[in-house]
Amino acid sequence: MAAVEVHQFAQCITCHAWSADRSMIAFCPNNNEVHIYRLSQDKWEKVHVLQKHDQIVCGVDWSARSNRIVTASHDRNSYVWNQEGSEWVPTLVILRLNRAALCVQWSPKGSSLHWNNRAVVVITKLAEEINITRQISLIGENKFAVGSGAKTVCICYYEQDNNWWVSKLIRKRHDSSVTSVAWHPNNILLATTSTDGKCRVFSTFIKGVDTRDSKAGSVSDSKFGEQIVQLDLSFSWAFGVKWSPSGNTLAYVGHNSMIYFVDDVGPSPLAQNVAFRDLPLRDVLFISEKMVIGVGFDCNPMVFAADERGIWSFIRFLGERKSTLSGSRYSSQFSEAFGKFYGQSKNGASNDGIEPSRSRGGIHENCISCIMSLTESGSSRKTRFSTSGLDGKVVVWDLENQEDLSGYL
């Protein structure tokens, strides 16, 4: 079975993120707190509770380079958390929003210097010993993006001279709430999805923060907030946008039980739509250039893959489905509800004896709202990822032994 670990951390989890070495996990238990657990002797122990927000934390991301945590909340604020000794110290980021923040993500790159995780840990410890933590911040990711219900996206970056985080707003184009954001590997392009049904790609180039790259072509010449492309493929709410590892393919999902794949993102993009018969997805993750995992209301990860011609299709569910209570054929949820209400109106009493429809999902028992990669940075093979959902579970999946999927990895 693909699921290798199942952890019941809370009654409900809205989002989660992992530390760089995967020894700690941060998640929001559907309130205004972020809980941090550490793996100690094969047991997960709560070691920190981050308490600063006033409303539900809807987004959390853990920096792989600098070990910083960024959180976003319905209270319209965002905090960057730095670990100083055994404590996590928050820094307020003024987002200038008049509606809730909905999602957040660190940019993939930091300064022009390239460090591995071990080097960052060693240098950070030396910095703490000689009290130069402020200067060492250049090592980490230099930007993060926050999507909001105010039809805007905040691009936040660190000002070294003033020692604070500044936000610049992309105000134009969005006609509704921004549900997800995704950074392109070049650290400049940002993809967004919105409840207006559209997926958009913007330039986030900030002078003095980003560097001109000849390999990026005209992308690095574009101005901040300039829209590169708008994709009008979905006629419903859009969620869960992601880039492929190379940045050549973009995938996002709609609330109409469809997933969209876009190649050659630019003036003349090539798009494919894949419809499926099950409940809508909420988020996606590229495992490779040829495989995508989708998660959502069906409570079971779905595998999509591209063949030799580049045609995407649904392959199978990743987890095992729960069997029905009997061997008889199941009815649809609509038929079940209709039959129950008809029985109540006819008999004048509650009718709970009607056989329920099949239980969706396998390990997860409620909507899967978040999916995160568990592959070490720099690794060419991505086989492990984690999911969390409204059932309060965090499940770790491994595709290494899935023989029928090995050709897509």
- Mean pLDDT computed over 291-309: 96
How far is the CA of 152 from the CAs of 94, 238, 268, in angstroms?
14, 15, 25
Least confident of 90-99, 348-357, 378-387: 348-357
pTM (two decimals): 0.84
Q: What Å distances lie between residue 299 and 191, 278, 322, 330, 371, CA to CA? A: 25, 10, 11, 18, 12
pLDDT, position 374: 93
User: Which residues lie below 8 Å from residue 128, measured CB to CB, with a gap of 6+?
Assistant: 84, 85
The predicted structure's pLDDT at residue 266: 82
Segment (H or E) for 46: strand 43-51
pLDDT of residue 30: 97
* Residue type present at position 109: K
CB within 8 Å of 4: residues ≥ 6 apart: 396, 397, 398
Looking at residue 162, its pLDDT comes to: 82
3-state helix, strand, coil in the chain (%, to 5): 10, 45, 45
Residues 233-251: tens digit of each pLDDT: 988 999 999 999 999 999 9
**DSSP result, 283-329:** EEEEEETTEEEEEETTSS-EEEEE-TT--EEEEEESSPPPPPSSSSP
Which CATH number is 3-322+358-408 given?
2.130.10.10
Query: Nearest CA to 390 among 62, 53, 16?
Result: 16
- Position 350 scores a pLDDT of 47
Average pLDDT over every residue of 269-298: 96
Distance CA(388)–CA(127), nearest Å, equals 35
Q: Where are the domains of the chain?
A: 3-322+358-408, 323-357
pLDDT of residue 172: 82
Q: Please, are residues 15 and 370 in contact by the beta-carbon 8 Å criterion? A: yes
Q: Burial level of 145, CB count in 10 A (0-12/13-18/19+)?
A: buried
Phi first, then psi: give them for residue 51, nearest 5 degrees.
-125, 105
Place of tokens 């709609």: 254
